[in-house]
Structure 1
Amino acid sequence: MSDEITDSPTGWVAKHARRYVESNGAEGHLYHGRPTLLLTTVGRRSGVRRRTPLIYGRDGDAYVVVASNGGAADHPLWYHNLLVLPQAEVQVEARTFTALARTATAEEKPALWRQMVGIHAEYADYQRRTDRDIPVVILTPA
């Protein structure tokens, strides 16, 4: 596995990630008023390290993200990567740490989903657009 990190091929997403990294989280942590972190996963087939900015919430010491993929029919690639290798690198502002990822259980999800919709109301619209159950992911610092 290379130390090199690949950002999204989507221009504005890659620009957000680079600004976040270059400013050590001073710029980009709040994106349109919503807190964001950088999640770096390892590609399950390619082995390439991929970095994605994601809106987050908190649950105690853990960070909570939503695998919405904008309401697309498929889960985002980062989620598929975490299912195979649940260890990831996370940056929140200037803090970088290793986290273990897991999908919220059926019992945990309703409260976490409400919290995340409270942070980013569009998640509810995304869920209405797709037949898949959008996962909520808990990132616990290792």
Structure 2
Amino acid sequence: MTYFHDGPDPILVASNGGKANHPSWCHNLRAHPECELGDEPFVAAEVTDEDEYERLFALASRVFAGYAEYRIKATAAGRRIPVFRLTPH
């Protein structure tokens, strides 16, 4: 799983390579938002604000250019790629 930081917060993109379904970890994180990255505890929150989503997705695409193509594929399949912000717990 690739992630990047926005300030101190890790950001996760549930791209699943642009496939029609979300990756299994996305469902798990939604059901159980308390998680660990390495040995650090975090709480995950799905980004729902449209402006923030677009800003973070643009940052993600700079970290990994493939996200732009994955987004096109996912959109064609009727799926919006979830983005999660992790905050320290």
Q: Following TM superposition, by how much is the alpha carbon of 1:76 offset from its aligned partner in structure 2, in angstroms?
A: 0.6
Q: What is the aligned counterpart of 1:123 among 67, 85, 88?
A: 67
* Residue 69 of structure 1 pairs with residue 16 of structure 2: yes
8 Å contact 1:88–1:101 — kept in the other structure? yes
Shift of 1:63: 0.3
Which is higher, the Rg of structure 1 or of structure 2? 1
Give the structure 2 partner of residue 6 of structure 1.
Answer: none
Equivalents in 2 of 1:114, 1:79: separation in Å?
Answer: 20
Query: TM-score, normalized by length of structure 1?
Result: 0.57
Amino acid at match of 1:83: R
Query: What's the % identity of the aligned pairs?
Result: 39
Poorly superposed stretches of 4+, deviation over 3 Å = none
Instruction: Give the match's secondary structure for 2:20.
Output: coil
Supply the AA of the counterpart residue of 2:14.
A
Ranges in structure 1 where 5+ consecutive residues have no aligned partner: 1-53
Q: Which has the higher contact order (CA 8 A, sep 6+)?
A: 2
- Superposed, 1:79-98 pairs within 5 Å as 79-91=26-38, 96-98=39-41
Whole-Å separation in 2 of the counterparts to 1:88 and 1:55: 16
Specify the alignment match of 2:47 in structure 1: 104
Give deviations 1:55-96, integer Å, cap 9, x for gaps.
Answer: 1111222100100011111111101011111011111xxxx2
Aligned length, in residue pairs: 85
Aligned residues: CA RMSD: 1.0
1:112 shift after superposition: 0.5
Consecutive unaligned residues in structure 2, runs of 5 or more? none
What is the one-letter code of the residue matched to 1:86?
Answer: P
Q: Which has the higher helix share?
A: 2
